[in-house]
Amino acid sequence: MGREVVQVQGSLARSPDAVWQILRDFCGAWHPWIATMQAERGPKGAAVRAFTVTGEATIYREQQTYLSDSDRVLGYTHLDGISDCQAYDARVTVTPSDDGGCHVGWTATIRAPATRLQAICDGTRAVFEAGIAALAEASGTDGPAVPAPQTVPVESLVFDDLPRLALSVTPDRGDGRLCLFLHGIGGGRSNWLDQLAVAGSVMRAAALDLRGYGDSTLGPRQSNVDDYCADILRVAEKFGAKRLVLVGLSYGSWIATSFAMRHPDMLDALVLSGGCTGMSEAGPDEREAFRVSREVPLNAGQVPADFAPAVVKVLAGPGASDATRQRLYDSMAAISAAAYRDALICFTNPLERFDFARLTMPVLMMTGEHDRLAPPAEIRGVAGRIWDAAQRPDVRFEVIPDAGHVCNVEQPEAYSRPLLDLLGRLR
């Protein structure tokens, strides 16, 4: 079995946005060799295109595996049509050039028997070259206008078993699904109110106060991530939810990914914002230094309200409004010292290093343009690792413009657009 990489580069006089508008439409029939094109969905909602080429009866199928509007990157894999092809994974990128135009890079990694490999590579190169040439003239469409998202009422709910868990929740839609939001270490369930109101129009949604936060109580002992996973299972059982979408921010993203490691078959999708791996990839010394530095004010008798102003300066982006900064301050100031210390110890004692091959569900990763704690380069790298590790990946990565760490609070509309796009395509 042989392996080859085909790479084709092209420079166009058109703007990167104009070219990307055409390329990002995975099921668009803009390539000159396309005869017919049909949009399909994979078993887990992934975009699949089924097409024929001029002069052939063969139906080819390809699945989108990666998308980033902010980076202008599209990845896809071959499913059917190329005889004797064992694997075919492609990626196309659009980057700006100094003259106002753009560069298009198209790459495919191909595995096939030696007797077929060269022919597949030659055909691929011809396809890419014809496609890049066509992009110089192809016309794109804006697509249908995206209506303003519907909103639904949100109410508070408390499960009084121990530990007590408090949630904000939208009405039941009767489909056995739940979109559950998990806040960061300095937040609370109120951080998700903007997303709850719109996500609840697609499926039932709830935001959880983690143990010790808001109206939830701590357990009888120091919390660990298995306790949080047990709380998620308990919430799902209380709601009668058989399928989950977990949406996390920072600490909540680490908890959501930890749950995905344990119960991947329960998840329809995973949305990770402002982080993912937490301290699971840090060494013992780094974890201990992180914990000790953040326990200094607690050990001096301070409570989170005392150091909340300093934390907000780190969390907020440079363009954050006074109202946004106040909202971040309020959520941090509401945390008790005991709850903050409990979460801090849990965070710095991860139970495992994540195996991204277990992420068999669609994964949406977002981070703020000005996030100091989970900068775009770091999260982009994690998204790429998930794309590499998953057997049939369905990954999207987006940078939220003009936002800091708590990007869903600073830019709720920009955050909710890709979230709603994901929720809307799930089966």
Task: Tell me the angle at which helices 114-135 and 16-23 cross, rounded to the nearest 10 degrees.
Answer: 130
Neighbouring C-beta atoms of residue 37, cutoff 10 Å: 15
Phi-psi category of residue 109: left, alpha or beta, with phi > 0 → left and psi -120 to 50 → alpha: beta
- Indicate the residue among 103, 135, 167 that finishes a domain: 135
Same domain, 114 and 205: no
- Indicate the residue among 135, 169, 199 that finishes a domain: 135
Residue 242, domain member (yes or no):
yes
Q: How far apart are CA 313 and CA 317, in angstroms?
A: 8
Q: How far apart are CA 321 and CA 202, in angstroms?
A: 30
E strands, 118-239, are 155-159, 165-169, 177-182, 205-208
Residue 232, domain member (yes or no):
yes
Q: What is the extent of the structural domain holding 360?
A: 155-425
pLDDT tens, N- to C-terminus, the chain (427 residues): 899 999 999 999 999 999 999 999 999 999 999 999 999 999 899 999 999 999 999 999 999 999 999 999 999 999 999 999 999 999 999 999 999 999 999 999 999 999 999 999 999 999 999 999 999 988 766 555 667 789 999 999 999 989 999 999 999 999 999 999 999 999 999 999 999 999 999 999 999 999 999 999 999 999 999 999 999 999 999 999 999 999 999 999 999 999 999 999 999 999 999 999 988 888 889 889 988 888 999 999 999 999 999 999 999 999 999 999 999 999 999 999 999 999 999 999 998 999 999 999 999 999 999 999 999 999 999 999 999 998 889 999 999 999 999 999 999 999 999 999 999 999 6
Q: How far apart are CA 210 and CA 196, in angstroms?
A: 16
Same domain, 121 and 176: no
Residue 145, domain member (yes or no):
no
pTM for this entry? 0.95
Same domain, 207 and 342: yes
